[in-house]
Structure 1
Amino acid sequence: MVTVRFLHTADWQLGMTRHFLSPEAQARYTDGRLAAIRALGRVAAAEGCEFVLVCGDVFESNQLSPQTLARALDAMRDIPVPVYLLPGNHDPLDAGTIYRTAEFTRQRPGHVHVLDAPGVHPIREGVEIVAAPWTSKRPLTDLVAEQVAALEPATGTIRIVAGHGAVDRGHPNPNDPSLIRIEALRAALADGRVHYVALGDRHSRTDVGCDGRVWYSGTPEVTDYVETEPGDVLVVDVGADHCQVRAHHVGAWRFLRREHHLNSAEDVQALDAELSALPDKERTVLKLSLVGTLTLREKARLDDLLARHGHLFAALEVWERRTDLVTRPDDDDFADLGLSGFAASALEELRELAAAPGEDSQAAQEALGLLYRLAGGGR
């Protein structure tokens, strides 16, 4: 009975940048994405995988710097088993494809293979990959269904489909011609034409269904806040009558979103303690939603702690669209500052504007905060 164990991964997007990262943090994030590739190579070796299958978007685009390409191929060189790369929507086989450049061809390790022809690719006796590479950024057909439809039921051969793109189940645009049709996959699995469908494009690890034989591996390193179960790769054991999929975590970065209600000095102190307790800050991107009402003194302490922690995290930002934080000065805020003359008059005017409804209230609150800090408050 023929069986095969391999590692399913996708969406490496080597060369990716994130706009919210500083140049220093971006350099570490780039190194982290390469480290995830080397880590999955160690998983493949430890688990006895025969090969690694990368289901699309190996690179962020077809236009990469020579350094990025060289470092990417060097990371693949460290994978100790054969590697099969499927072009996806980020790196399609179009006229400018990176896979046919002199730089890629010259530096490509011998055990790294590009699935640049649609159809069946024999891997060894009894094992085949059925590839559906992208040849443009906007295909007009279901590329996977085209390849599956051309197959006859396999006898004594395990077939693994390598595809990329969104499936039609739950898609907001069900008329998109490029969607991968689940029913076509279900039929091909039922009659023995294929035995496992490895997909890329969705960055969250996802069991699409069909008795656990259709999966998105997700990205091996997180790329966005909305992803679920990112940072994983899948070790797949498949035969004609069985399929087992096991996730292994290789990612080291985290993108977190947190909401905090701040209405007192104790709430600000609790936020400070929570941020201090978070591990691996240098590999954590944190977006905060802040809701509540603070005095000027409390707001100054909040601004100070955000600045302090901002130096420790890979990125720390306030989610403005989800933040509703009001500053309401009380009599104690300026009691010890000894303001007089013009400063005292400005204080009273700003306090009146801040307390009144209207579009000037927020600007007045911010001006009060600035006046408070310039006058030495919060020290």
Structure 2
Amino acid sequence: MKFIHTADWQLGMTRHFLSGEAQARFSQARLDAVRSIGQLATDEECEFVVACGDVFESNQVDRQVLTRAFDAMAATPGVTFYLLPGNHDPLDAASIYTSHSFKERRPANVVVLDGSEPIEVAAGAELLAAPWTSKRPLADLVDRAVDLVGPSDALRVVVGHGVLDARSPDKRDPALVSLSRLEERISAGEIHYAALGDRHSVTNEGTTGRIWYSGAPEPTDYDEVDPGKVLLVDLAADRCVVESRRVGTWAFELVEQRLTSDADIDTLQSTIDAVTDKERTVLKLALVGQITLAQSDRLDRLLEHCVDRFAAVEEWKRRTDLHVLPDDIEAETFGLSGFAAEALDDLRGLARSSDDSQAAEARDAMALLYRLTRSAS
């Protein structure tokens, strides 16, 4: 059988660094990805889609998000979407999956994986679900899901969410998913594929080729490796072919660079200009080095332009260490006299102060003064 493996849609997600207009486009892109997943399943003649947890950002998402998600899935009525509750949207007392709005508006092709009984998804093929019922499970839910069912000749896919023990530094966490147990069960023929969610990067785990994280269909942060994809799985007892397919349209780009000259700023500008789909890219900058007032002014203008072009521009504060060091020749180019020239001399002295905070404020003031005098001329 063929199916789509996806996870971590996190519909309703917001990002503090996105303005209202950019946030609206970001939210729409996540819904568009769901629609694209359904279309991909149709084009590839897949029996179904499994969404392995964190379908929604939380159990308290706006009702409009839920309605539009249902519209996106209902757009391909021939494809059944199986939704697994994860740590963001667990099956607890406040679960979105048991809400009146969910029950009232759910399309016929949307099924919640909320129980332990095997679900037949094709002739001789079953899903074993490991839904989260709280934000802090006290057991390996994936291993337990397989334990709860008896032996079968059916082709079985276990659908889970969580961190594999092989990836976690906290080995005491009872909710960790055991990689060795999954491999043992695959070798024994108890299951034939483990569809996992939680890790936002496409990842083939272990050595069987049958244990995968699909990653998130739209990226959410800079440290994700190969996000924006889903997995097309062609599965049989003796065959498992997994292909990644891109559905995402957004990107998180990190640019780290040392600046000490105009040539370095030229390189930074070229790097930024080379980014495609800027309106759907969140840019984070980590700049280090020492630049002059004139170069600082040029950099400020470049970054102002970036703010207008990109979805958002952030400074990576922990990795940023950029200093403005005005020299005497540049100071003379201000063209000031009288009290203004005396004030400038005072700022130059403060800029060399051993008090880092005071020196930084003085340099900022000189940079602003430089820009104002340049604009006036």
TM range (shorter): over 0.9
Q: Quick check: 358-367 or 236-245, which moved more?
A: 358-367
Deviation of 1:269 (Å): 2.6
- Tell me how large the CA RMSD over aligned residues is: 1.4
Identity, % of aligned pairs? 52
Pick from 80, 101, 104 the counterpart of residue 103 of structure 1: 101
Preserved contact between residue 31 and residue 72 of structure 2 (Cα < 8 Å):
yes
Give me the whole-angstrom Cα distance separating, in 2, the residues matched to 1:170 and 1:24: 37
Q: Quick check: 317-326 or 17-26, which moved more?
A: 317-326
1:336-374 deviation per Cα after TM superposition (whole angstroms, max 9, x unaligned):
332112211111121122124332222221121122223
Deviation of 1:378 (Å): 9.4
Q: 1:377 to 1:357 in 2, by over 3 A?
A: farther
Deviation of 1:9 (Å): 0.2
Q: Which runs of 5+ in 2 are unaligned?
A: none
Matched position secondary structure for 1:90: coil
Aligned to 1:352: 349
Aligned to 2:118: 120
Matches within 5 A, 1:153-168: 153-155=151-153, 157-168=154-165
Matches within 5 A, 1:181-196: 181-196=178-193
Give the letter aligned to residue 306 of structure 2.
H
Give me the whole-angstrom Cα distance separating, in 2, the residues matched to 1:377 and 1:260: 28
Preserved contact between residue 52 and residue 195 of structure 2 (Cα < 8 Å):
yes
Give me the whole-angstrom Cα distance separating, in 2, the residues matched to 1:152 and 1:374: 77
Matches within 5 A, 1:141-152: 141-152=139-150
Give the letter aligned to residue 107 of structure 1.
R
Matched position secondary structure for 1:209: coil
Deviation of 1:272 (Å): 2.1
Give me the whole-angstrom Cα distance separating, in 2, the residues matched to 1:352 and 1:292: 21
Give me the whole-angstrom Cα distance separating, in 2, the residues matched to 1:74 and 1:134: 25
Give me the whole-angstrom Cα distance separating, in 1, the residues matched to 2:330 and 2:33: 50
Q: Quick check: 261-270 or 133-142, which moved more?
A: 261-270
Deviation of 1:376 (Å): 2.9
Name the count of aligned residue pairs. Answer: 375
Deviation of 1:151 (Å): 3.6
Pick from 13, 30, 34 the counterpart of residue 33 of structure 1: 30
Aligned to 2:132: 134
Give the letter aligned to residue 214 of structure 1.
I
Preserved contact between residue 59 and residue 89 of structure 2 (Cα < 8 Å):
yes
Q: 1:136 to 1:378 in 2, by over 3 A?
A: farther
Aligned to 1:93: 91
Give the alignment's TM-score, normalised by structure 2: 0.96
Give me the whole-angstrom Cα distance separating, in 2, the residues matched to 1:307 and 1:32: 25
Q: Which runs of 5+ in 1 are unaligned?
A: none
Matched position secondary structure for 1:233: strand
Give the letter aligned to residue 130 of structure 2.
A
Q: Quick check: 132-141 or 368-377, which moved more?
A: 368-377
Aligned to 1:342: 339
Give the letter aligned to residue 93 of structure 1.
L
Preserved contact between residue 47 and residue 122 of structure 2 (Cα < 8 Å):
no
1:92-116 deviation per Cα after TM superposition (whole angstroms, max 9, x unaligned):
1111111111111111110111111
Matched position secondary structure for 1:375: helix
Give the letter aligned to residue 44 of structure 2.
E
Pick from 35, 48, 52 the counterpart of residue 51 of structure 1: 48
Give the letter aligned to residue 142 of structure 1.
D
Preserved contact between residue 47 and residue 121 of structure 2 (Cα < 8 Å):
no
Deviation of 1:119 (Å): 3.4
1:233 aligns with 2:233: no
Matches within 5 A, 1:292-371: 292-359=289-356, 360-371=358-369
Give the letter aligned to residue 323 of structure 1.
T
Give me the whole-angstrom Cα distance separating, in 2, the residues matched to 1:240 and 1:154: 12
1:318-344 deviation per Cα after TM superposition (whole angstroms, max 9, x unaligned):
212211111011234233332112211
Give the letter aligned to residue 365 of structure 2.
A
Preserved contact between residue 20 and residue 315 of structure 1 (Cα < 8 Å):
yes
Q: 1:120 to 1:267 in 2, by over 3 A?
A: same
Deviation of 1:260 (Å): 1.3
Give me the whole-angstrom Cα distance separating, in 1, the residues matched to 2:197 and 2:324: 46
Give the letter aligned to residue 5 of structure 1.
K
Q: 1:67 to 1:75 in 2, by over 3 A?
A: same
Give the letter aligned to residue 85 of structure 1.
L
Give me the whole-angstrom Cα distance separating, in 1, the residues matched to 2:331 and 2:374: 10
